[in-house]
Amino acid sequence: MEFLEFIPRNDDIDLERIRRLRTRMQNRQASLCTERAMCYTRSFQETEGEDWLLRKAKAFARTLKEMTIWIDKDSLIFGCQASRNFAAPVFPEYSIDWVIDELETFSLRDGDVFQVSEEDKARLRSIQSYWHGHTHEDQVRRATPERIVQAEQQKVLHRGGISMSGDGHIVPDHEMILNRGFRDLARECRERMAAAETGHTQAFYEAAAITLEAALDWIKRFGVLAGSLAEEVDDPKRAAELRSMQVMAQSLLEQPAQNFEEALQTVYLVHVLQMIESNGHSFCYGRFDQYLWPYLQTDLEMGRITKEKALERITHMFLMNSSCNKVRPYGHTRYSQGYPLYSNLMIGGRRPDGEDGTNPLSYLCLEAMNLTAMAEPNFSMRYSKDTPDDLLRLAARLIATGCGMPSMFNDDVAAKAIHDLGIPWEDALDYCAIGCVETGVPGKYGHRATGMTYVNWGKILELLLHGGCDPASGTCLCPVPDEFGSYEELWSSWNTLLKFYTDLAVECDAVCDRSLERYDASPFASVFIRDCLEKGKTAKEGGCRYDVVSQSNIGPAVVGNSLYALKKLVFDDRELTLAQVREAMDDNWQSPESARIRALCMEVPKFGNDDDAVDAVVKDVFESYLALLPDYATIRKDRGPAVSAYAMSTSNITSYVPNGKDTGATPDGRTAHSPLNEGCSPTQGTDINGPTAVIRSVAKLPNDRVAAGQLLNMRFSPDSLKTEENLLRFTGFLKASRRLGIYHNQFNVVDSATLRQAMEEPDRYRNLIVRVAGYCAQFVSLMPETQLAIIDRTENCLQ
């Protein structure tokens, strides 16, 4: 194993053990675990008629008491989400029918494959009748208006996760947890329960106490297991480690964290416990180096730990994140490929007082991610003009290894966007990533900073050019003209359709949200969100301090490029008529005449090349959506949060691939059913003027108003980052991105030849990690069309 810069002493870190643990995680096999499903079913059957919150809490407690637990034979960290490494629990209260429908095909998928034993198939079939008609998915289906169903049939809207699983997208108040522990919080809940004025508030406090007390008992189970394992192993060193776990588990979270090892173990356990309670994703670590540094600093000063030992333990914790998993329906998996959990862990950036927060733990985390080289945790870094050059250089060195991390966030832009929502500066400056690139305030935001309804802007463009009617289904929900006398008339109809479908998407969000308020109540996770305890409400009911959500809007560059092509070729230069372009598109550019028209469309400048004219149209597309947001509110408005608002995000994971499959040819020359653009990135292969031109184009967008996260993905050739001189250039490129006002940037450093070879010989490339979207994944786990979309990204070089 090679190191970035920090070279540990050989006697203080066991690199061979890290290599074994990493290899085991790389080669793990995904499967379904039925234990949680069976525990929840038995518990719910026994608690019929009780308050829903209490039923959820009692089922959670039963699962923690009865689930199989295990400790990896090499790991210094304990805690497991399911009965086996990389097994995904099943959550029947959210949805069950699709699980039964796909039982025989999980192992036949062309991506995100799961193994399911015959015994587990039988167990799941045995509980379907109890849950059928009584899940979150069932409630959403019953409450969904026909117009939303039709918009989904048009392939404009896609609900995906919010209609059949939990929210996730949350960062707990780690400082509160570490300073108080679970026992003190449970005591407070019991005291508040006694003084509660309403039955529902009383139920919330009781449910919260039950979950906290159950978590404490679950932790002690690991202590018993560690003690048993210590008696069985022959290696004295490993036996001592297990006995140390045993001692730690007996008092962990019964009191405040006593040292760095306890604090690190705590944040991992909280992460896993949240994923047992709810099958959402994006349960994130927040500003890891900020809240854990005081514990490490004290231990270093007192001689209780060395930096090398701390690095080893952090690396183990990072690796254990890859033991967790989530299963999604095959249809939604196309939107979220690569077994992603989006467990973002962030370092660097300013403190709430505005000063730079870089500390020695920031550097250790970069080194730990280098040793981990896995897709989880989703590792990110904040930076500003005050970020030390050596930290930025170390980040560049890690990016150059090709692991796809860290993704880089610009403090000035991201904090301003959050502040402009009405959130105080000290909180805005404390922002972190919550999932892919969505941002929020740790411990104070509620669920779902992004990822509500997916809206296919490429499809809206297709409807725009066909009078509002979908050529595939023939459905027309919002008629508009199909001929335009000017670009302004075309632009007006774009705004009409965008508002119509955004209105529908917000309505769709509300349908799902009202159901999630019950089915995703999450009393355990809500305890760690500020104001929930004071208000006696879950985060989903409005207990959180800030309630900011966003949707996933896919294809802004395709839309902008297309509108500019029409503006130039049809309305300004009059080389073509709209009818000619439409006929060629409907022909998918196949005939000689259609191919000629496509060639003209392809010659028109594209976003990502620092061309002011087309960049201005893409900016207009962003502005057209931003103008709508002040009119929208979540169902929690006026129910508790100090801020309740919609924000924009361009975090859309792998949805740009299936949304492209649903969209015909577009006037930018894109062929039918090919991918749309990802995030705010240029459309694949259309940025031809180098990386600096890309960031100059993106800099013209309203980045500091995209308050829920702006995603830019770029690819560089490995050779361009090999030398120290080139790394220095790349560090300068990062600084230029910050100065230009780029919100976020992330990088793949891999050549097309390697990616194509990995498609042909997947077993040889299981260690190949790529940036898929706002997250990383094993390249070989992705579906072929997504692999090809990554290959199609422009491979940049630094000159």
pLDDT at 7: 65
Q: What is the DSSP string of 550-603?
A: --EEE-HHHHHHHHHHHIIIIIIS-SS-HHHHHHHHHTTT-SHHHHHHHHHHHH
Q: Over the stretch 490-521, which tens digit does the pLDDT of each residue have?
A: 999 999 999 999 999 999 999 999 999 999 99
CB 614 within 8 A of CB 566: no
Question: For a pLDDT cut of 70, what percent of the chain falls above it?
Answer: 99
pLDDT at 175: 98
Rounded mean pLDDT of 210-222? 98
Is residue 451 very low, low, confident or very high in pLDDT (cuts 50, 70, 90)? low
With a cut of 70, say whether residue 704 has pLDDT above it: yes
pLDDT at 799: 65
Rounded mean pLDDT of 135-154? 97
Q: CA nearest 325: which of 16, 90, 671, 488?
A: 90
Rounded mean pLDDT of 576-599? 97
Rounded mean pLDDT of 448-460? 85
Contacts with 122 (C-beta within 8 Å, 6 or more apart), sequence order: none
Q: Over the stretch 152-193, which tens digit does the pLDDT of each residue have?
A: 999 999 987 889 999 999 999 999 999 999 999 999 999 999
Is residue 676 very low, low, confident or very high in pLDDT (cuts 50, 70, 90)? very high
Rounded mean pLDDT of 685-711? 96
pLDDT at 295: 98
Spatial strand order of the sheet with 454-456 comes to 157-158, 454-456, 552-554
pLDDT at 448: 75
With a cut of 80, say whether residue 6 has pLDDT above it: no
With a cut of 80, say whether residue 9 has pLDDT above it: no
pTM for this one? 0.96
Question: What's the sign of the alpha-carbon dihedral 219, 224, 228, 231?
Answer: positive
With a cut of 90, say whether residue 769 has pLDDT above it: no
pLDDT at 767: 87
Mean pLDDT of the chain: 95
Q: Over the stretch 514-527, which tens digit does the pLDDT of each residue have?
A: 999 999 999 999 99
* 731 sits in which H/E element: helix 724-740
Asked which of 10-14, 52-56, 393-397 is least confident by mean pLDDT, the reply is 10-14
pLDDT at 639: 96
Rounded mean pLDDT of 61-74? 98
Rounded mean pLDDT of 395-421? 96
β-strand pairing of 776-778 with 769-771: antiparallel
Rounded mean pLDDT of 310-322? 98
pLDDT at 772: 83
C-beta neighbour count of 684 within 10 angstroms: 24
Is residue 10 very low, low, confident or very high in pLDDT (cuts 50, 70, 90)? low
Is residue 449 very low, low, confident or very high in pLDDT (cuts 50, 70, 90)? low
Question: For a pLDDT cut of 90, what percent of the chain falls above it?
Answer: 89
With a cut of 90, say whether residue 337 has pLDDT above it: no
With a cut of 70, say whether residue 586 has pLDDT above it: yes
Q: Over the stretch 521-569, which tens digit does the pLDDT of each residue have?
A: 999 999 999 999 999 999 999 999 999 999 989 999 999 999 999 999 9
Give me the residue spans of the domains in the chain.
31-145
